[in-house]
Structure 1
């Protein structure tokens, strides 16, 4: 321990006193050391100008200590030094101590100004973002959560990209492609001179490695490559995919972040993934991830030099309800985006229980009552959901009532069993679950609430224990592909909790969806699948979400994507006048 840590421990026992008298034995108990070491520590504190002290002479005489600074005067410079050396973990550990209220408030205020953007004299622009949970591994093969998916997209690239504005697939790592008349052979031609972050040049070997890796690592997205019979690499910059059957969506598959290209010649260690993207990983620990602009990016170099994500404990009062901090800037801009997707309740048909009874599921739909929930809880809950798509939900309406719920319960086989409802351990979900628990009480339904961290997303035990899950889907800008992911992605709870009988019906409709050339008819199939979900109460659509973002006016070129994030590579900071 450093001398400041010992000083803090001593000061916590006497936060308001400036002068104390204690025996060496009492001080040893406070500092968790021997009486001999107490003297050594007090001497060091004196040398650091933290205290003056007079040793007690003889048996029974107490040591006198005079604190040269108030607790606040001593701690705030220490916090500054920690921040200067980017030791945020130590600051957060300090905040866990029983500090005086005003001191804790001052430290939290300082932390709020620490985050945001900074520009140095040598024009090195840094954006520091606080984040209130630890991240899942930054691995394209397991990119199932919006934040991680967005970060991955800044590090890696795909062969082709989906353009939201034109609704077209465009060249990216591949500058062009050809498809055979039989729709079974797809040839991609790679750009020359594309470099990975470790300096090696992109080749067809990397493409083959990345596509085969999904199966090798048992990715929940291995369905993206199931239709590939084999992959040829006749020349370094040419890759030929041979499909088992025609797939009109193959280009969309290839544009998925899960099929981003990784180098074949590097063993991935400690999740230090190497890509060709506009940013590379500079530092990755359990407390932070720091991305640095990649100067050899094959397209435009990122305008920001560094982006830092720091994990902030929930207990702290650091503002983390936005992705673009607004610290130290009087002028701000705000953006509101309606998420495509919704919050829903899914029943676990992989486990025995009353959820297999349609009358119980009907009762649950009556209990949920999104209008009452929105009226009671408000916040970013905007309107009831009757579909994954907000525009469709606006055209629909359904009345619910607890009296109907009671009727359905009486017709069901529910017999007072305790139901286990799982949800992410975030504020909004916790409020939803508690609200539902209170709604269930007068009906005699016993709910046991199980919040779990996002880092447990892939935990297989959830499917063994949960009866119902409250969760949500945020759809990518490529809406049709995103809809496929809901049912094909093996980590998605819709897939994990699937009903064996109805899942086969949905799979059959999805096969027709993939083969259908007409966009209008594909959307008709989407509606039919959603109708099946609703009519059989396989899941209950709940509500849609409006995301609000604020950011400093000096931060330029901010465009919010479907996940509520911005493309970091295009951000830049307007210099102060």
Structure 2
């Protein structure tokens, strides 16, 4: 490893030279380039010559000029160095090293590294002694900041939390029923504010202790303390009381009726964590320590190692629903890449989420169309005294926002025009089946904007980095109408804060899956923070009525009423919806999807005869 660094240092000292081009140089110059003594310089050059990296003909006598020729390309040696660093499971250091090297080398260096890295991904079966070890290794193009259910923000973090933790209940595969999980049964009183759960016996945490009611009470008190404004806080902050009736019974008392409570318990935000031993704490310690990247749950996999960008999960032998087929999962976090919805091609591996395949690849790979879809939209910040505070300007802006052109610029067979969060209920047909809207002429758009009183004032559009491409397309589509848009990027973990209130428009997305109701309530409550007081009060009243409605069909009708009020006043502007697919190699068996369309690792198994094939798909993101 050090020898390659010496060669690269020597090569950098003579950047103007081409490979195979001999040149004369003194031994003194060589020693200075390698920053070592004459004796060590000779030893280093002899070693490099044996490696075939250079040829060197020495001439005796100080001041005499030797003949040197570089044989190995700088990029090849740098790539070998990065590969060795990665093989030691220090992916972040390897990527940082390549980023530094690319200042002097072509950008293709990192592409070559990605291609090499792809060969390490996928399913591998290794025999250790008399035992076969089944390993799945896959890349995750985002940094893992935390594995604490109370603090997760990103889909990759959410997916890993699903492998490490369990909740009291779970959503059915079809997404239309709540089923028992850590709790085998539950009761609710007539007021539907007191919920009692009965816990399974013999469920173990990864550190070996049996789960009890005290862990459940600790979990939700901890969630309230650590994340009072977190995702779905409008559910768990309404828990007025939680008590352990005995070791196997837990009772929740809600401050008001909330028909989303049971569905919330099926999310990974409600994952059960172990209560710490009291005698481990001093008076200065927090009663609710942050888990961070050292999680202990009851899930089908336990965290075995976490270092240098690689997270290693091992099958939990004592999992209460039975041990999974895979022995080990390695998640290689590639934090230098920013994930987005329409990534280009990436190196192949055996399970890909949110994917579009080329026709040749589609013939080789199997695909599952996920039940959920993402929906992109814009909302108006009425607290900012900009042009969109006017209802007439909002209507004209909505008219100017040509969705057909936005979809054309995005391209892709999985993207449709969006008109509702409930497309089947609101129109009875999909947007793809509906007649396309007639495109307005730029002059008509400009005339309508002028009549509304718009005079070309700049509009600030805020979004998260993952949706930058969408924001730039909105900006481009609005330019011909004379609407100047400035795009402001805010990190996802800060998007719910005050920064977004300095923008006129907010671009975001919602996942329409089995947790659609929870996600939409969370969205509408978030939108209330930048609504005018009158509309805010109206939405608050309708959400209260909705959360008191036990019938799912009538709840859907109330959701649609809220949506129509917001779209009619042009406070909510739909852009498009995207269907999601998961592709997988034919050697994989046991494919079933969880929330966000991720594959449950516990269910996967492989046919060993074909498990190591590397035929190439295209484009996960």
Identify unmatched segments of 5+ residues in structure 1: none
Question: How far apart in 1 are the matches of 2:388 and 2:149?
Answer: 34
Counterpart of 2:396 in structure 1 is: 363
- Where does residue 206 of structure 1 map in the other structure? 215
Instruction: Provide the residue aligned with 2:137 in structure 1.
Output: 128
1:34-433 alignment, distance < 5 Å:
34=35, 36=36, 40=40, 43-44=43-44, 46-47=46-47, 49-50=50-51, 51=54, 53=56, 60-67=63-70, 69=72, 78=81, 81-96=84-99, 97=101, 98-99=104-105, 106-121=112-127, 122-165=131-174, 167-219=176-228, 220=230, 221-265=232-276, 267-268=289-290, 270-285=292-307, 287-312=309-334, 313-314=336-337, 319=346, 324=351, 331-337=364-370, 339-379=372-412, 382-391=415-424, 392=426, 394=429, 399=438, 401=440, 402-426=442-466, 429-433=467-471
1: CA distance between counterparts of 2:521 and 2:541? 12
Tell me the secondary structure at the aligned position of residue 513 of structure 2: coil
Greater shift, 194-203 or 48-57, is seen at 48-57
Q: CA deviation at 1:508?
A: 1.1
C-alpha contact (below 8 Å) 1:129/1:310 kept by paired residues: yes
The residue that corresponds to 1:467 in the other structure is: 504
Q: 1:269 to 1:337 in 2, by over 3 A?
A: closer
**Contact (CA 8 Å) 1:423, 1:430: kept in 2 or not?**
yes
C-alpha separation between the residues in 2 aligned to 1:38 and 1:503? 78
| Cα pair distance change 1:201/1:126, threshold 3 Å | same
1:507-540 CA-to-partner distances (Å, cap 9, x unmatched) read: 2111111111322221110110110110111121
Q: 1:105 to 1:460 in 2, by over 3 A?
A: closer
Distance, in Å, in 2 between the alignment partners of 1:145 and 1:76 is: 30
The alignment status of 1:482 with 2:504, answered yes or no, reads no
Shift of 1:268: 3.7
CA distance, structure 1, for counterparts of residue 521 and residue 371 of structure 2: 21
> What is the deviation of 1:350?
4.0
Partner SS for 1:193: coil
**SS across alignment from 1:507:** helix
Change (3 A) 1:60 1:453: farther
8 Å Cα contact 1:16-1:71 kept in structure 2: no
Query: Structure 1 residues 331 and 181, CA, compared in 2 at 3 Å: closer, same or farther?
Result: same
* CA–CA separation in structure 1 for the residues paired with 2:576 and 2:47: 61
Taking the aligned partners of 1:148 and 1:323, their CA distance within structure 2 comes to 20
Q: Partners of 2:215 and 2:568 in 1: how far apart?
A: 46
Return the offset for 1:384. Answer: 0.9
1:2 corresponding residue in structure 2: 2
Task: Tell me the secondary structure at the aligned position of residue 511 of structure 1.
Answer: helix
Q: TM-score when scaled to structure 2?
A: 0.81
Change (3 A) 1:103 1:256: closer
The answer for the alignment partner of 1:16 in structure 2 is 19
Q: Say which SS state the counterpart of residue 521 (structure 1) adopts.
A: helix
Give the match for residue 281 of structure 2: none
SS in 2 for 1:230: strand
Q: 1:130 & 1:400 partners in 2: Cα distance?
A: 42
Distance in 2 between residues matched to 1:341 and 1:375, nearest whole Å: 17
Aligned to 2:486: 448
Q: How far apart are the structure 2 equivalents of 1:422 and 1:26?
A: 55
- Name the counterpart of 2:285: none
Q: Distance in 1 between matches of 2:574 and 2:242?
A: 41
1:207-258 residue CA offsets vs partner (Å, 9 max, x unmatched): 1111112221134232222322211213122111122233333322322321
Unaligned runs of 5+ residues in structure 2 are 278-288, 354-360, 611-621
Shift of 1:278: 0.9
State the alpha-carbon separation in 1 of the partners of residues 89 and 23 from structure 2: 34
Shift of the 57–322 alpha-carbon distance from structure 1 to 2, 3 Å rule, reads closer
Preserved contact between residue 89 and residue 309 of structure 2 (Cα < 8 Å) = no
Question: Structure 1, residues 447-489: CA drift from partner, whole Å, max 9, x if none?
Answer: 22234555x555735324332222211133133333323234x
| Aligned mates of 2:374, 2:569 — CA distance in 1 | 20
- Between the aligned partners of 1:284 and 1:257, the Cα distance in structure 2 is 21
Q: Shift of residue 386 of structure 1?
A: 0.9
Q: How many residues align?
A: 565
Aligned CA RMSD, in angstroms, stands at 3.4
TM-aligned CA distance change 1:234 to 1:408, over 3 Å: same
Q: TM-score, normalised by structure 1?
A: 0.87
